[in-house]
Structure 1
Amino acid sequence: MIDVVTDITEDAFLGGQLLLKQKRSGHRAGHDAILLAAATQAQPGDRVVDLGAGIGTAGLALARRVAGIKLRLVEIDPELAGLAHANAAANAIAAEAIVLDVMADAQAFAIHGLVPDSADIVMMNPPFNDAARHRGSPDQARRTAHVAMEETLHAWVHAARRILRSNGVLTLIWRADGVAEVLAALSRGFGSVSILPVHGDAASPAIRVLVRAIKGSRAPMRLLPGLMLNDESSVPKKEVRNILEGRAVLPLAEP
């Protein structure tokens, strides 16, 4: 049984199209999850797995945009998985919340029906702060959500590769200074890699990369023009507001 925590807030995403309950303290959903959803291409009927789903933000945002996907939300924390389950129900979105460690073995995945070649799309926002350079939060849930171990990215990509069908699509978000780690993790089994850098503004280095890759493809890599979140006055740009409010998607999600 999945338990739901009581010390929570209810927050609006996608310009109010999505109302999500989340813990008042610890890791809280933000722009990264919405950008991930906006970078993910899907069609009705697609089998979509959101790895490390938290309260379900990215997967539910995608489901709000593309009705009829078959969504599974995978989360290691039972409290967050409970909130993901409740959030899906409250927003009238069909989704299954699964308590599972993404770094578990194939048998653990199979117990929950996540067998090899069973997904059309995997989306994920893994913990990506470097443990050697990032001081982890004393809050265990927040630390788990933010800090990556050396093997984290490779293990998560391996899990995605295992459950994706041939030509299935993986979309992920990672810190920009770790793009070499992303390419290394995708070098086995993935091709047609497209990278979208995300900058705070035009004068600053990228802070995130959104990445799309296709299982089994041998197509070359593409580096797309960067997304600038803010203008010269540090005000969110209109195109970014449209994305965050669910009125537009990123180039990675376009056919």
Structure 2
Amino acid sequence: MTDPGAFTEDAFLGGQLRLRQPKSGHRAGHDAMLLAAATPARSGDRVVDLGAGVGAAGLAVAKRVAPIELVLVEIDAALAGFARDNAASNAIAADVIVLDVTSTADAFAAAGLAPDSVDVVLMNPPFNDPTRHRASPDRGRETAHVATVATLESWIHAARRILKSGGVLTLIWRADGLAEVLTTLARGFGSLAILPVHGDAATPAIRVLIRAIKGGRAPTQILAALMLKDESGVPNKQVREILTGKGNLPLAMA
């Protein structure tokens, strides 16, 4: 459980979004903003951020697309408390639910997330391979970053269950785990669009952003890669625009 006592207040989207988050443990950063910039929400959509943490990705989507019906789902009650406060301090309406993403359909329904009731799901599941990831002494950080064998399957199953037919799932995952993502998404999802994310042009991809449609049948697309840094080692123009809330990724244009 996260200690809510020590926290920082950090600016995102060029200061448009200010978030309190714990000093230690899992902290929101670039992955959350990239995920938000890849999420194709539209005004009026019901949007659910699974494993929301302090609410960074979901609140960033709400800043870009208004109004939406935003739901932030987080297992850690202290982080959920931060998410609730962050929504209020940024004047964003959000329903914050303390719930394990791997819970049963009945538990989701009792929390207001019935099957086939959501337009968009976004998620940044724990994705580090436990066989190659050195365990963190911080339990919150470990829970947020390290995947078990069933993590990906259970999170995607939860998204599939609550999404309407034709609903959209957007997720971020480590690039070397792409094969397992594609295998898991094959059950119930299609029309995939994949965006590789590289640290720079000289190194392999470190992340993949994926948009999938529940029941989609269109061919899979692999989009032009996103380079986080240019040749001089600074964030490139597209990344700077995303981080300052002035740009989106092609995945958001479904």
Bucket of the pairwise TM-score, normalised by the shorter protein:
over 0.9
The alignment partner of 2:247 has SS state of coil
* Aligned 8 A contact 2:3 2:22 in 1: no
- 1:5 Cα offset (Å): 2.0
Kindly indicate whether residue 210 of structure 2 is the aligned counterpart of residue 211 of structure 1: yes
How many equivalent residue pairs? 253
- Other-structure match for 1:105: 104
- Other-structure match for 2:253: 254
The alignment partner of 1:20 has SS state of strand
- Other-structure match for 1:193: 192
Give me the whole-angstrom Cα distance separating, in 2, the residues matched to 1:242 and 1:142.
28
Give ranges in structure 2 of 5+ residues lacking alignment: none
- Other-structure match for 1:161: 160
Give me the whole-angstrom Cα distance separating, in 2, the residues matched to 1:183 and 1:34.
23
- Other-structure match for 2:171: 172
- Other-structure match for 1:114: 113
Give me the whole-angstrom Cα distance separating, in 2, the residues matched to 1:6 and 1:69.
31
* Aligned 8 A contact 2:170 2:209 in 1: yes
* Aligned 8 A contact 1:4 1:82 in 2: no
Give me the whole-angstrom Cα distance separating, in 2, the residues matched to 1:17 and 1:80.
21
1:49-64 superposed matches below 5 A: 49-64=48-63
- Other-structure match for 1:22: 21
The alignment partner of 2:195 has SS state of strand
* Aligned 8 A contact 1:4 1:83 in 2: no
The alignment partner of 2:113 has SS state of coil
Kindly provide the CA deviation profile for residues 204-238 of structure 1, in whole angstroms up to 9, marking residues without a partner as x: 10000000000011111000110000011111101
Kindly provide the CA deviation profile for residues 12-53 of structure 1, in whole angstroms up to 9, marking residues without a partner as x: 000000000000111111000000000001111100000000
- 1:139 Cα offset (Å): 0.6
- Other-structure match for 1:233: 232
- 1:4 Cα offset (Å): 8.7
Q: TM-score, structure 1 length as denominator?
A: 0.98
Kindly indicate whether residue 123 of structure 2 is the aligned counterpart of residue 142 of structure 1: no
Give ranges in structure 1 of 5+ residues lacking alignment: none
Give me the whole-angstrom Cα distance separating, in 2, the residues matched to 1:93 and 1:4.
24
Runs of 4+ in 1 over 4 A off after TM superposition: none
* Aligned 8 A contact 1:44 1:69 in 2: yes
Q: TM-score, structure 2 length as denominator?
A: 0.98
